[in-house]
Amino acid sequence: MIIGKVVGSVVSTRKNEKLVGNKFMIVEPVSSMGKGRLVAVDNVGAGIGEFVIVAVGSAARIGTDYSNAPVDAAIVGIVDDGEGLE
Amino acid sequence: MIIGKVVGSVVSTRKNEKLVGNKFMIVEPVSSMGKGRLVAVDNVGAGIGEFVIVAVGSAARIGTDYSNAPVDAAIVGIVDDGEGLE
Amino acid sequence: MIIGKVVGSVVSTRKNEKLVGNKFMIVEPVSSMGKGRLVAVDNVGAGIGEFVIVAVGSAARIGTDYSNAPVDAAIVGIVDDGEGLE
Amino acid sequence: MIIGKVVGSVVSTRKNEKLVGNKFMIVEPVSSMGKGRLVAVDNVGAGIGEFVIVAVGSAARIGTDYSNAPVDAAIVGIVDDGEGLE
Amino acid sequence: MIIGKVVGSVVSTRKNEKLVGNKFMIVEPVSSMGKGRLVAVDNVGAGIGEFVIVAVGSAARIGTDYSNAPVDAAIVGIVDDGEGLE
């Protein structure tokens, strides 16, 4: 998993039917975890500005609400204290 | 998932039989999501120039039309407003 | 998927038994799809110098001849016209 | 797998229910294995400062305690002697 | 798959029980296949200094001896002639 900060969201009206009702959050990894931003669905009610744990790949669909959806990244936890992570 | 812009398509006459009838779109990730272009099948009717959400890995085959095809990237949503993303 | 050019092949006599009879092609991604070369099995009869579509990850084993083999990249289509791709 | 050093942990109170009771360790890959830090669950009782073997992707859920959890990285071994690895 | 050279091995006494009895080899990809070193289990009896084909991701567990182990990289072939690859 990686830790990132929720920096925004993106709206898509025309989308795969399995994705209807989901919110797409834009997550920016903390610099030590490095790569580009990614779009993740939200499993835990994260808000803009919060630091979150993101599971990627098939993990995003295991034990989450997305087992039958084309989802490759999901927010699975909110970090209690992001200080020092950024 | 990543957000990218559909910049073209590619034609392949000789291909795996499970891929017959599919269109291969070339997607360029927005710069903040960074890596190189990729080829994705289209699940939602995206056109050239549109910003799309692309699911990669096994996600491209879950809840899409490609469950039995050798597909590792699928367009699963069209972004309503791509302004500010590029 | 990515598009690449078949630039060679590699021979391995001692290999996993599920891989016997397969040819390993070396594929160089076109520069816009960028990363390093990779080794892919060939599903469609591609030759050296041809531009091909490569599926990576579990996709290489879905709907191909490699469902039970330790294969993570397969050539699944030959591009009709590679001009402008290189 | 990659080898990395456990450099910290991260606490998440609000998280996916399948992750309750797990500890998230922050692992820094040794430089020759290169990329950014990642968050891994711990299968073997690793401590801060130890060099560990991390399995990523679906491997993190096979034969571990996380088969039904959204986990994409797990510590699966502790390196006996990390000298020369850093 | 990628081609790499076996440059060493790593010993882990405390490890996931599914990994007991396996040897962890350190593989350095040839420069054209580029990224960092990785740790792979050995399916074919490779030795230090040999050039090998490594399958990564779930492929490492398909048709190998590791179907139930947390393994994300396996040596699946030994290259007959590595000349010109390095």
- In the prediction, which pLDDT does B71 show? 97
- In the prediction, which pLDDT does B13 show? 95
Banded pLDDT at B35 (limits 50, 70, 90) = confident
pTM score, two decimals?
0.95
Under CATH, what is the fold of the domain B2-12+19-78?
Answer: OB fold (Dihydrolipoamide Acetyltransferase, E2P) (2.40.50)
- In the prediction, which pLDDT does E43 show? 79
The number of beta carbons lying within 10 Å of the beta carbon of residue E21 is 6
Nearest-CA distance from E33 to chain C in Å? Answer: 5
Tokens of C61: 């084993």
- In the prediction, which pLDDT does E86 show? 66
Chain A contact partners (≥3 CB pairs within 8 A)? B, D
The letter for the amino acid at E51 is F
Q: For C46, which residue in chain B has the nearest alpha carbon?
A: B14
CB contact under 8 A, B53 and A39: yes
Which of B13, B24, B36 lies nearest to residue C33, judging by beta carbons? B36
- In the prediction, which pLDDT does A5 show? 96
Nearest-CA distance from A84 to chain D in Å? Answer: 11
Please write the tens of the pLDDT for every residue from B9-21.
999 999 999 999 8
Nearest-CA distance from C35 to chain E in Å? Answer: 8
Residues of E in contact with C58 (CB under 8 A): 57-59
The CATH number of the domain covering residues in D2-10+22-78: 2.40.50.220
Please choose, from the candidates A38, E18, A41, A53, the residue with its C-alpha nearest in 3D space to the C-alpha of residue D23: A53
Nearest-CA distance from B33 to chain C in Å? Answer: 14
Task: Encode chain E (86 residues) as per-residue pLDDT tens digits.
Answer: 999 999 999 999 999 999 998 889 999 999 999 779 999 999 799 999 999 999 999 999 999 989 999 999 999 999 998 777 76
Which of B33, B44, B58 lies nearest to residue A16, judging by beta carbons? B44
Q: What is the mean pLDDT of residues A54-65?
A: 95
Supply the ipTM of this predicted assembly: 0.95
Please write the tens of the pLDDT for every residue from D20-75.
988 899 999 999 997 799 999 998 999 999 999 999 999 999 999 899 999 999 99
Task: Quickly tell me which residue has 């087992």 as its tokens.
Answer: A67
Please write the tens of the pLDDT for every residue from C9-25.
999 999 999 999 888 99
Q: What is the mean pLDDT of residues C17-38?
A: 92
CA distance E82 to E86: 7
Facing residues of B76 across strands? Answer: none
Domain positions in chain B: 2-12+19-78
CATH label, A2-78, candidates 2.40.50.220, 1.10.3720.10, 2.60.120.260, 3.40.50.300: 2.40.50.220
| Homologous superfamily of the C2-13+21-78 domain (CATH) | EutN/Ccml (2.40.50.220)
CA distance E5 to E52: 6
CB within 8 A of D63, min separation 6: which ones? E16, E17, E18, E68, E69, E70
- In the prediction, which pLDDT does A86 show? 66
CA distance E21 to A14: 51
- In the prediction, which pLDDT does A85 show? 76
Task: Quickly tell me which residue has 């029980």 as its tokens.
Answer: E17
Banded pLDDT at D13 (limits 50, 70, 90) = very high
The letter for the amino acid at C33 is M
Please write the tens of the pLDDT for every residue from B69-85.
999 999 999 999 877 77
Please choose, from the candidates E85, E11, E72, the residue with its C-alpha nearest in 3D space to the C-alpha of residue E38: E72
Which of B26, B27, B37 to mutate to test binding with chain C, by most C CBs within 10 Å of its CB? B37
Q: What is the mean pLDDT of residues B37-54?
A: 95
The CATH number of the domain covering residues in E2-12+21-78: 2.40.50.220
Banded pLDDT at D86 (limits 50, 70, 90) = low
User: Measuring CA to CA, how many Å separate C62 from each of A38, B19, C1, C70, E66?
Assistant: 26, 11, 13, 12, 20
Q: What is the largest CA-CA distance in chain A?
A: 39
Residues of E with CB under 8 A from a CB of C: 1-3, 29, 32-35, 43-45, 53, 55-64, 74, 76-81, 85
